[in-house]
Structure 1
Amino acid sequence: MKPVLLLGGGGHAAVVLDVLTLCDVPMAGYLAPSPGRLDLPYLGDDSLLSTLSPSDYRVALGVGSTGVMPLRRQLFERAKRWGFECVTLIHPRAIVARSAVLAEGVQVMAGAVIQPGCHLHENVLVNTAASVDHHCELAAHCHIAPGARLSGGVRLGALCHVGTGASLLQGITLGDHCLVAAGAVVLGNWPAGSRVKGIPATQF
């Protein structure tokens, strides 16, 4: 099994490293703009990736987000452009239905639940104790933050961010680049680029 290079050195990188360790994935070190506090060799900044061979290493993204996530998407696309496989991660204490489809680079963290019929596209992050109920579809690079709840049949466009503790009613559709603030309760559909907060959620 090819060892993994962790991209990032902050808080989310520490969480990803824990999952990799629990899953007995061999690690080579991490790349970040400057050394962090990870218990892993620091190899240099992200530019080093272009000098390494995808036949020798895989990568795991250690960058989260607090909003729509261009940096996380950029790192994923850069790694793919250079030919690297992005590791798909499932914490041993997450629950993922057998019929769920997880694309390359998806990360499902501790206590998260992915129910039957769900489809998570490339580089989706379902964070700690979040839940995605039956037959949801999450387009590429979405982030479901800790404790957020998606009811059945929700559809999210690319690069959506659902904040900590937010809830989406069943069957709702959000367009690309939508931001749902922490604690919001979303009762209806919203077009691309919407930013919503509150109970019930309204535009801000």
Structure 2
Amino acid sequence: MKRLLIWGAGDQGTVTLDCALAMGQYGEIDFLDMKEKGHREIPGYRIHEEAKVDLEHFLQAYDEVIVAVGSNELREKKITQLKSWGITLATIVHPTAIISPSSCISQGCTLLARAVVNPNARIGIGCIVNTGAIVEHDCVVEDFVNICPGVSIAGHTRIGRKSFIGIGSTVIDDIKVGKEVVIGAGAAVIRDIPDYAVAAGVPAKIR
């Protein structure tokens, strides 16, 4: 069975571990902390320190690596390193997630328990689709997006690169959310949101 390295030993690392264990595809799972984030204790698992390893050679010892950090910026940085070294990115999908055969999930993504990705949706590189989040039919989620638990994104919507969609928020159909946007918790997005905006409320308004 394959060896998996989870790069990130914080909160996102622990939920990624549960997901990877549920998949039953990995015979060994280790952690590598991030200098930028540090780590928490994860009983029963080895946590290597990024500052103490020869990074490229260390990473190459694993069959697959998943970057497990909520920060879109930091996740992009680490995945870019991995790709430049030709290291295989894992795609972690919990067995209770519902993924349409006609959807496309890119490498380096994590889809947690009860996530739903419906027909013809496309999820870009290094995205997180959290617990119970729904990405409806014909949506496009660009690279390095973080979709929080309980989010509902209706059909034909586009979420721009490195955007953050807050917990429990809703995006109606045919909406365009720009790049590096932050949508606040519980927001209802009923109109397009431009690049770099912060929007919150019901209906969501730019702050």
- The bucket for the TM-score relative to the shorter chain is over 0.9
Report 1:48-127 matches (<5 A). 48=53, 49-52=55-58, 54=60, 56-65=62-71, 69-127=72-130
Gaps of 5+ in 2: none
Q: Hey, what does 1:26 align to over in structure 2?
A: 27
User: Would the aligned equivalents of 2:5 and 2:62 in 1 still touch at CA under 8 Å?
Assistant: no
User: 1:23: Cα distance to partner?
Assistant: 1.3
Q: Hey, what does 2:45 align to over in structure 1?
A: 40
Relative to structure 1, is the Cα distance of residues 46 and 126 closer, same or farther in structure 2, using a 3 angstrom cutoff?
farther
User: Would the aligned equivalents of 2:59 and 2:65 in 1 still touch at CA under 8 Å?
Assistant: no
Q: Deviations over 1:15-64 (max 9, x none)?
A: 11111111122334111144522231122226633232536432112212
Gaps of 5+ in 1: none
Relative to structure 1, is the Cα distance of residues 124 and 27 closer, same or farther in structure 2, using a 3 angstrom cutoff?
same
Amino acid at match of 2:18: D
- Give secondary structure in 1 for the equivalent of 2:76: helix
Identity of aligned residues (%): 27
In 2: Cα distance, 1:160 partner to 1:51 partner: 32
In 1: Cα distance, 2:7 partner to 2:122 partner: 25
In 1: Cα distance, 2:200 partner to 2:159 partner: 16
Residue 199 of structure 1, aligned match among 187, 190, 202: 202
The worse-fitting range, judged by mean Cα deviation, of 119-128 and 20-29 is 20-29
- Give secondary structure in 2 for the equivalent of 1:111: coil
Q: Hey, what does 1:189 align to over in structure 2?
A: 192
In 2: Cα distance, 1:7 partner to 1:46 partner: 13
Moved over 4 A (4+): none
User: Would the aligned equivalents of 1:31 and 1:46 in 2 still touch at CA under 8 Å?
Assistant: no
- Give secondary structure in 1 for the equivalent of 2:125: coil
TM-score by length of 1: 0.92
- Give secondary structure in 1 for the equivalent of 2:193: coil
Q: How many residues matched?
A: 201
TM-score by length of 2: 0.91
| Aligned-residue CA RMSD (Å) | 1.6
In 1: Cα distance, 2:7 partner to 2:51 partner: 7
User: Would the aligned equivalents of 2:97 and 2:111 in 1 still touch at CA under 8 Å?
Assistant: yes
Relative to structure 1, is the Cα distance of residues 152 and 46 closer, same or farther in structure 2, using a 3 angstrom cutoff?
farther
- Give secondary structure in 1 for the equivalent of 2:95: coil
Q: Hey, what does 2:137 align to over in structure 1?
A: 134
Q: Deviations over 1:47-104 (max 9, x none)?
A: 6332325364321122124xxx211111111221222111011101111111110111
Amino acid at match of 2:5: L
